[in-house]
Structure 1
Amino acid sequence: MKLWIKHIAILAVIVVAGGVITVVSGIVPIAASSPHWPITKWFLEFSMERSVATHSIEIATPDLDDAALVIKGAGHFATGCVQCHGSPARGPSPIAESLMPQPPKLSDTVSEWKPRELFYIVKHGVKLTGMPGWPAQNRDDEVSAVVAFLKTLPNMPRAEYHDLVFGDVAAASDSVPSGLQHLVTNSCGRCHGVDGVGRDGVFPILAGQRKDYLASSLRAYSTGERHSGFMQPVAVPLKEQQIDALAEFYSELPSPLGDAIASEPDGVAAGNPNHDSDLTGQQIAQSGIPARRVPACVGCHAPSIAGNYPLLNGQPQDYLAQQLNLFKQRVRGGTKNAHLMHPATERITEQQEQAVAEFFAAE
């Protein structure tokens, strides 16, 4: 028995020593110009599949059939994914095709993964493959949007892909400065529209928004102070003069945003602690909830108020509600004034968030 154990120990030492010598000698090729050995390819793929399956077990994804999520994910796909993975409209970049392992063509392979597994891969990336993690790890809502779009990719016709990614973006009109035409039509316009009114009520309206707020928001995205895996890759390459020019262009477009906010709340007395749950969005927006130390929204966001605060009137309801929720979770970030939103949003309910969002969206 002891002799058998001795032989096993000697064999183990030989195997370990052989492995060390192999690694130290440098004879193992790492060149991406040649494919993996079949056994290496199988081992790496099997290990990845098992790791993703295990680590995604407890992930719960939202309703991925939501059309708004699909449109959001489509807008980013053309920015962050198509270069490596291709699309129904084009193949991947020759640079991506020279990677080892090669990035998969998602139109053909995405159906092999469960939604929770896709979520894990998109959010965390895959080491040693060139697949990055999501730039804003605290924005699960953005990751879900990409997954929702990926689910629609298999067998997607080219025309449908173009509509989802680009919408109705047309060539820039003469009103777009020549230096901004490419940015507006091929980047900003995919989501916000060349006219700045946003696509399908999914994206925020930029037309008529305050110039200083637009510029400071782009700078906050660029530095990572405002968290978004959608916007940061777009904002980082922008030069200072481009940021200022984009902000000026969109701020001067005809605005669909409302100008007036009714001055008098109706119904329940604002701030009455016995009736907080009955307050309307209008009452909260105009008078706040004093009993909970929630200030009135119009104190900063009314069109008549000067300052680097965004105009909210007429913005999409779902967008406004989402921003309030992100502030509440303290994962939104933003300009130097963003911290002012944290105490207020932490003291209102989800129902009240929706009510306030509905009020401003209708103005």
Structure 2
Amino acid sequence: MNLLAAAFVLLTPIPFLLFYFFRSTKEFPKSWKEFKIEVRTILCGIRSQNEDFLLRKRNRIKLESLPNKIAVITGGNRGIGLHIVKKLLRCEMKVVMGVRNPESSKKSIETAIGEELCKNNITYFQCDTGDMESVRQFAEKVKQSFPAIHILINNAGVMATPYYETKDGFESQMAINYLGHFLLTHLLMPELIKGSESNDGKNVRVVNVSSCIHRVADMDYKDFNCKKFYYPTDAYAKSKLAQVYFTKYLEVIFKERGLKIQSHAPHPGIVNTDLFQHSSITAIPWFKNAFYKTPESGSRTIVYAAISPYLEGKGGTYLSNCYFDKSHPKSKEFDEIKKLFDFTCQLLKIKSFGEF
């Protein structure tokens, strides 16, 4: 972006208002680099919101009866996740939830969904995806209770938070949104394989929740934990790009090993949830209520990725509004997705992914 374009954004009324009210953070950018990131983020959001409106009739999911199937989901006690869980229960599935506070989550879930639907159908285990030891403990509890898994939904996440490092030394958004889910998928691979052996000949599924914002990111391996440069939305976008890369490479692994497993990376849309608590849009809440997707609507593409028969055998895809969409151009480059996969294995000290 050149100086003329910058002047246009700052001096023309409509672009200025968009920039003022729709920033991804409450603070103004402090450098030219941050300014460019912010403008790209706003434009990406506007594009996605327009698509959500134009494709709203496509954003539909037909629920099926899937009794005795086991779905594992991280998060899920509020926002989009709450409606994902409700839809899975309506499919007669057993749901295993990895949440930070199992007791309070149980209360909120049963209040929102109803005790009758939840009764004996949800298992709550503690899990903080930003803490690798917590992920390992969660995976161990799942293994002990459920030898076979049919759906894994890596849903838990945060967005555009202030900088902090986890106790493992990772930038928090990358840890919570990506690294914890990478490790969890690795640890639960034996159970996913077992699930595929008793799934009526169909593939079991791994669903990595991503975002349209991944398209404006690029991986930076020299500053992976953002110690040299940190801008909240940039870090968020990188974590969601990592989820897309992971999804693409998982599909390579599944096919190479002849496994009946497939992976998807859905974008839920621009959804009115508390993920936007760090955004300047909080100053005009009526706009979110009027124009953003509801959490229920945002849950549809994720559930679509998890159960739709139409997607059978069509893994490794990025989805939006219950249909295939274009992902980051580099996500199509084998060397690029393999580089992140190998880098992550090294970072998490995984010698052979999914094999023990």
TM-score (norm 2): 0.27
Normalising by structure 1, report the TM-score. 0.26
Which gives a bigger RCO, structure 1 or 2 (Cα 8 Å, sep 6+)?
Answer: 2
Larger Rg: 1
